[in-house]
Structure 1
Amino acid sequence: MNNKPTAVQAASQIKLMGFDVDGTLTDGGLYFGNDGETMKRFSVFDGQGLRLLMDHGIKVVWITARSSTIVEKRAKDLGIYQLVQGCKTKLRAYDEIRESLGLQWQECGFFGDDWPDYPVLQQVALAATTPHSPQAMQSTANWINTRPPGDGAARELCDFILMNQAGYKNPWESQ
């Protein structure tokens, strides 16, 4: 039985938001060039959403099972608080970050789409996943995106969190 708070309740308390990379921030595809380099497509729209979270004081971390210089570069470009790559135990990595920030689980969220993300989704207050994730993950989640991964899914989640945070004001409304 899922005894998580509602997504709205959870979003209102978020201070740490974690993201898997492949299948949430990207479309999950791996593109290989002729010289063997691996490429991934990231959305500028999603990146803006992540920056809005950070501008509101929410720590954003990426925890991914794969390792890639392009992920490292994108995380650095966006100013992501912490990037953990090549991670076999995402829950342990997330818990260490959470504890270092002195946060409770009810202040934490995670967006993941496959089995390595499942233990984290079971623990956090805001458990976000995709329609293509395994059914057990969808049952554990309290928020499921409608936009395509790598093309607005993360932004949709960021906007949802911000709209439910006390004191959030859209920086462009007053312009």
Structure 2
Amino acid sequence: MNYKTKLNHIDTFIFDVDGVLTDGKVYFFEKEIMRALNSKDGYAMQYASKMGYHIFIITGGYSEDLKRRLLELGIKEVHLRSSNKLKVYQELKEKYSLKDEQVLYMGDDIPDIPVLKQVGVSTCPQDAAIDVKSIVDYHSPLNGGKACVRDVIEQTLRVQNNWLKDAAYHW
């Protein structure tokens, strides 16, 4: 089954943060770590959430400010400091009765590979690690932090005829 056909079955998105929602750069300011998110990714996530899609974050990073912002966008759960992403994914599947074919995951590096190998649609940003790019169904032409999340959400919603509905015109 090709990538676009698989998108018809997606109702759940799971994203990594560093290298996917961000460009992978981490800025240190005294005792704080800062990351920048792309507003196009934020828009697409909140829109998909309003349209009834489930969105989860599984990241090895830690930032309460980041978690707060993502929850404001309608993300269902944000899992920080996740050293075993596959375990978190399996817990989410059980908790929400998810099937692999319903899930699109986007990751960019080696810790994402076990989840990428299990989900229905595996995706990565253009600048993902070569080991990731070699196994995914789709790699976005956009780099991490440069709207690659928007790319896969928009494609999914367009395939399912859920893009640009009335909810699209309001934040």
TM-score normalised by structure 1 residue count? 0.89
Report the aligned-residue RMSD: 1.8
Which amino acid letter does the alignment assign opposite residue 160 of structure 1? Q
1:98 equivalent in structure 2: 93
User: 1:60-71 counterparts in 2 under 5 A?
Assistant: 60-71=55-66
Q: CA deviation at 1:173?
A: 10
Secondary structure of 1:140's counterpart equals: coil
How far apart in 2 are the matches of 1:8 and 1:96?
27
How far apart in 2 are the matches of 1:174 and 1:49?
9
**Percentage identity across aligned positions?**
27
Please tell me whether residue 168 in structure 1 is matched to residue 162 in structure 2. Answer: yes
1:92-139 Cα distance to aligned partner (Å, 9 max, x none):
101111121112111111000001100000000110112222223112
1:77 equivalent in structure 2: 72
Partners of 1:11 and 1:164 within 8 A in 2: yes
Q: Which runs of 5+ in 2 are unaligned?
A: none
Secondary structure of 1:170's counterpart equals: coil
Which amino acid letter does the alignment assign opposite residue 5 of structure 2? Q
Partners of 2:60 and 2:83 within 8 A in 1: yes
Q: CA deviation at 1:169?
A: 4.5
Q: Check 1:17–1:64 CA distance in 2 against 1; reply closer, same or farther (3 A cut).
A: same
Q: Check 1:32–1:95 CA distance in 2 against 1; reply closer, same or farther (3 A cut).
A: same
Q: Check 1:148–1:134 CA distance in 2 against 1; reply closer, same or farther (3 A cut).
A: closer
Q: CA deviation at 1:157?
A: 1.1
2:27 equivalent in structure 1: 31
Secondary structure of 1:88's counterpart equals: coil
1:33-89 Cα distance to aligned partner (Å, 9 max, x none):
1x2311110111110111121122110000001111222122122121011000011
Q: Which runs of 5+ in 1 are unaligned?
A: none
